[in-house]
Amino acid sequence: MLNRPTNDLIAPPTPDGSHWDRRPGTRLTMLGTLVGLSLLLIGGRVAWIQQGGLDLFVRRAAPVTVTTEPIPTHDGRILAADGTVLAHDLQRFRVRLHYRWLEFPADPTWLREQALARLVGFGRRDKARLAAAKSKVLAHRETMHAELARVCRVDPQELRRRMQAMQDRVERVVTSVQRRRATTAKPAFVPSEPGPWWQVAWENVRTTLTTPPRRLRSEPVVVTEELEYHRIFDNVPLEAAAVIQEHPERFPGVEIRVETRRSYPAGALAAHVVGTRRRQPRSQGLVPDSDWIGTSGVEQTYDHLLRGRPGLKRIVTNRSGEVLSTRVLQTPRRGRDIELTLSLTLQKRAEQLLDAATNTGSPGGAIAVIDLHTGAVLAAASAPRFDPNLLISPDPTTWQRLSKDPRRPFFCRVTRMALPPGSVFKSLSATALLESGVLEPGHSISCRGYLDHPGRHRCYVFRHFGVGHGETAIGDALCRSCNVFFFDAARRLARSDGHRHLHAWAARFGFGQPTGIDLPGESAGRLPAPPDKPRISETMQLAIGQGPITATPLQIARLMAAIANSGTLVTPHVVANNGPARRIPRGKRIQGLSRQTLVAVREGLRRVVADPRGTGYKRIRLPEVSIAGKTGTAEVGGDMEDHAWFAGYVPTKAPRLAFVVVLEHAGSGGRTAGPVARQLVQAIRSTGLIGETAAVSVNRRHDR
């Protein structure tokens, strides 16, 4: 049985194999059903897309632009002592229009996209509907232009003119790019000479791999300016900006840019103290700096406090420029306010006095008034001046006129003008001579108008009237401004090997170094170093404020303050000490200065105005206010007039304010600077800064 032959062809079938193998018809039926269902789903999806779902894909596939823009902020204000605003930021609303919405005729590609956005489904393939949609887009654009002109309160023709000017500018850019493309186009590689086949093949491969593809001549040129917004109107009313922002559907392609602009309501008043700001490029960092930066005055010194920090926002727009989403990345921060110590009433009057003086021949001048106990600057006037508003966006003509003005209106004469102090310096010379011991108590000389020879080392009265001062002590020398007395005393000092003494005391009173006022660019003046060996002539010239020494008006005002306040060298400041800016340094006591010396010098300064023989008696004395001070006439040589000085303090008893008046090339200090000082003291009294009611307020106002 086991060896019986078998035949599979005639053997009965076995039950091996699966159910599907035994029923092939069923398998085909189910496979056909599955394929049919898949095709049905695909067909339904295609039909849905054709009917309306295409809009979803178009929106998703449309390119978007993500940009970051600063959120404008406000810089801090600058306020006077009475709260008057001297500098602040104004909001400006700028209207910007997308180029495609101002271009005429409209760009075909843009117009088609705008029309397609208005259609759905099979309507996109209907030429008639597409043409009608294009007409509606153009009509909407014309309507928008007319409404934009009406809202912004401009003539429609003016809007058309501005749009045409913008289009002309962009088209010039396109033409330039096209011309540059034509001149820089590289021809395809052509071998110079036929060579072996392998060399030609290698050159073709190398050229293909290393040469960028050429643009097709038919490819249109699209520059960045054609895809951006362009400024159409500046400083539109707030109502117009609000309407445009609230109704974006009525103003497609229009955006409002909010900017700030510095404004100086007081104009040229205290311009050198307040200072100016200029626009700076925005940084490339994530959070941009402010658009404006201080360039002079308080605007520059306290820029780190005044300057606000703009915010930053992320904007997503579609290819038509429509905003899809906005997100704030950085919240803006406003700058701090700064309060000044200036009395605007006194500042205005000081500037008026300077203007009147400079209009009569002097090319410039300065007036400074400081609280001699705290250093607070109550007035700092320079002439000529400028209006900071003109420097925000100056036109070329205005800028040339101001920058080329020989009188230098940008020059702050209070802190930067260094001139020979002339006889005003005798106040310090008297102090140094008394402290040196070279003058015995009651020392006097007989002044005949010159020291040794009538042609040199003379007094002013001798040069002009041919007479001397007679018997003269140190108080008389200050009162009558006797050069001969100081020449003689300085020669005694140099011969006794005390020539360094005068330089040392000048340095103690702050000459040759900045006062430390919180204004930029202060000059230190010049105090020559003491020579190694006595130079009698140089010491004599220094004693009367001539020669190589120069000083600023502020240094002279601080000299008078130190004499009046019993020897404290204060630090002048224009920003109130109660603000967030900084703590003003306390005054520095001048070492080695005795009370007896101060009493003697003060008496001499009092007599300058109160004594009938004083140089300031006729033109400076006021019956209602006692004034102490010193006239000064600084010689400049040549055919030019001398510089005129007067510096002092008021009132003589219980002094509160120190002041200085200096006029460039104005002649005698007593004749020209003296009357201005007299009117200045009248203004000080009329503003209430001195008098019975000012006993506490002036000394403590700026030391809170």
401-420 tens-digit pLDDT: 988 889 999 999 999 999 99
**CATH number of the structural domain spanning residue 682:** 3.40.710.10
**pLDDT band for position 286 (50/70/90)?**
very low
Residues 275 and 373 in one domain: no
pLDDT in tens, 259-278: 888 999 999 999 999 999 98
Amino acid identity, position 188:
A
So what's the pLDDT on residue 695? Answer: 41
Biggest alpha carbon–alpha carbon distance for the chain? 172
| Domain finish residue from 254, 280, 315 | 254
Q: What is the spatial distance between Cα 78 and Cα 380, in angstroms, rounded to a whole number?
A: 16
- Ramachandran angles phi, psi of 569, nearest 5°: -90, 100
- Considering the domain boundaries, does residue 601 fall inside one? yes
pLDDT (mean) for 110-114: 87
- 596 CB-contact burial (10 Å; exposed 0-12 / middle 13-18 / buried 19+): exposed
On whether the CB atoms of residues 415 and 370 are closer than 8 A, the answer is: no
Higher-confidence position of 559 and 256: 559
- Considering the domain boundaries, does residue 656 fall inside one? yes
So what's the pLDDT on residue 48? Answer: 64
Task: State how far the alpha carbon of 675 is from the alpha carbons of 284, 619, 622, in Å.
Answer: 56, 5, 11
So what's the pLDDT on residue 40? Answer: 82
Q: Quick check: 424 pLDDT over 50?
A: yes
> What 3-state class would DSSP assign to 399?
helix
Residues 499 and 571 in one domain: yes
CB atoms inside a 10 Å sphere around CB 488? 22
Residues 665 and 635 in one domain: yes
Token digits of residue 451: 């020291």
Residues 395 and 303 in one domain: no
So what's the pLDDT on residue 399? Answer: 87
Q: What percent of the chain has pLDDT over 70?
A: 86
- Considering the domain boundaries, does residue 460 fall inside one? yes
Strands 78-79 and 338-339, sheet pairing? parallel
- Considering the domain boundaries, does residue 89 fall inside one? no
Q: What is the spatial distance between Cα 112 and Cα 107, in angstroms, rounded to a whole number?
A: 9
Residues 243 and 357 in one domain: no
CB atoms inside a 10 Å sphere around CB 452? 11
**pLDDT band for position 578 (50/70/90)?**
low
Residues 63 and 169 in one domain: no
Q: Quick check: 369 pLDDT over 50?
A: yes
Average pLDDT, the chain: 85
pLDDT (mean) for 674-680: 96
- 25 CB-contact burial (10 Å; exposed 0-12 / middle 13-18 / buried 19+): exposed
> What 3-state class would DSSP assign to 355?
helix
Residues 356 and 410 in one domain: yes
- Considering the domain boundaries, does residue 691 fall inside one? yes
On whether the CB atoms of residues 427 and 296 are closer than 8 A, the answer is: no
Does the predicted TM-score (pTM) go above 0.85?
no
- Considering the domain boundaries, does residue 248 fall inside one? yes
| Domain finish residue from 204, 228, 254 | 254
Residues 473 and 416 in one domain: yes
pLDDT (mean) for 424-453: 91
The total of structural domains in the chain comes to 3
So what's the pLDDT on residue 217? Answer: 52
Q: Quick check: 703 pLDDT over 50?
A: no
Highest mean pLDDT among 19-23, 162-166, 439-443, 560-564: 560-564
Residues 118 and 68 in one domain: no
Q: Quick check: 7 pLDDT over 80?
A: no
- Nearest Cα neighbor of 588 from 571, 572, 569, 563 is 569
**pLDDT band for position 701 (50/70/90)?**
very low
Q: What is the spatial distance between Cα 673 and Cα 657, in angstroms, rounded to a whole number?
A: 18
Token digits of residue 350: 């000081």
pLDDT (mean) for 362-378: 95
- Cβ within 8 Å of residue 591, ≥6 positions away: 508
Residues 80 and 105 in one domain: no
- Cβ within 8 Å of residue 401, ≥6 positions away: none
Q: Quick check: 442 pLDDT over 90?
A: no
Higher-confidence position of 558 and 226: 558
pLDDT in tens, 644-659: 999 999 999 999 999 9
| Range of the structural domain that residue 235 is part of | 96-178+220-254
Residues 325 and 472 in one domain: no
- Considering the domain boundaries, does residue 639 fall inside one? yes
So what's the pLDDT on residue 288? Answer: 44
Token digits of residue 63: 């390119």
Overall residue count recorded for the chain in this entry: 704
Q: What is the spatial distance between Cα 468 and Cα 450, in angstroms, rounded to a whole number?
A: 7
Taking only Cα atoms into account, the Rg of the chain, rounded to an integer number of angstroms, comes to: 43
**pLDDT band for position 9 (50/70/90)?**
very low
Provide the H-helix boundaries in 591-694. Answer: 595-610, 617-620, 674-686
So what's the pLDDT on residue 248? Answer: 84
Lowest mean pLDDT among 194-198, 374-378, 442-446, 484-488: 194-198
Task: State how far the alpha carbon of 12 is from the alpha carbons of 7, 8, 15, 16, in Å.
Answer: 10, 8, 10, 12
Residues 334 and 354 in one domain: no
Q: What is the spatial distance between Cα 395 and Cα 401, in angstroms, rounded to a whole number?
A: 10
**CATH number of the structural domain spanning residue 275:** 3.90.1310.10
So what's the pLDDT on residue 628? Answer: 97
Q: How far apart are the first and last CA of the chain?
A: 130
So what's the pLDDT on residue 255? Answer: 86
Lowest mean pLDDT among 180-189, 267-276, 384-393: 180-189
Higher-confidence position of 317 and 285: 317
| Domain finish residue from 231, 254, 277 | 254
- Nearest Cα neighbor of 548 from 493, 506, 518 is 506
Higher-confidence position of 182 and 600: 600
pLDDT (mean) for 503-518: 94
- Considering the domain boundaries, does residue 440 fall inside one? yes
On whether the CB atoms of residues 429 and 490 are closer than 8 A, the answer is: yes
**pLDDT band for position 344 (50/70/90)?**
very high
**pLDDT band for position 484 (50/70/90)?**
very high
